[in-house]
Amino acid sequence: MEELSGNEMDYVFYIILRGPAGVGKSTISGKLAQFYNGHHIDVDKIKKKLRLSHSKEDKFEVNKTVIQKARYYLNQRTVVIIDEVFYFKLQLLQIEQLPYKSYLFSLNAPLETCLKRNLKRRQEGLATTTDETIKLVHSLVFKLKKGIEINTHDVSIKEALNEILSYLPKISYD
């Protein structure tokens, strides 16, 4: 990994974490935001706030807000982490047009693992996603092969995070 100074104003990047529900996107995004003192953009939270659905049209609509927020933070020289399922290629391409260095990771786990994790979230009141939706999204996500694949099945959050960090710049803050 290259060593960069936090004072190098010409260097900033964003990270995209994609994958089906239950692979750890939000958890790992939050950890990356802490590690880099960055900003986590949770696309699902923006969709809820804007009262948008998961339709193709609404995914492109939410991208307007995501891109606007990402630009704002990137212009402030803040690392941005974007977390979304991204199963529509054009939706992902819109985000990748940001004029900054980017790193794309596809988190994956078997369907059974995603279903178990989603059930746990439902039992804790943290999710309302049905098993049918998990199955559909899981199949859609894996039809689009993009990014560095990271397996989150049978590994700890720390192990998955360390694997992702091995591909990213190391930044020191003076």
pTM for the model stands at: 0.87
Q: By the 8 A CB rule, do 24 and 164 touch?
A: no
Question: What is the CA 102 to chain-centroid distance, rounded?
Answer: 12
The whole-number pLDDT of residue 58 equals: 86
> CATH: 1.10.3720.10, 3.30.70.3270, 3.40.50.300, 3.20.20.140. Which one for 3-172?
3.40.50.300
8 Å CB contact between 108 and 150: yes
Q: How far apart are CA 45 and CA 140, in angstroms?
A: 21
Q: Residue 133: which of 44, 26, 30 has the closest Cα?
A: 44
Domain-wise residue ranges, the chain: 3-172
Question: Residue 35, Cβ neighbours under 10 Å: how many?
Answer: 15
For the chain, the average pLDDT equals 88
116-137: pLDDT as tens digits: 988 888 788 877 788 888 899 8
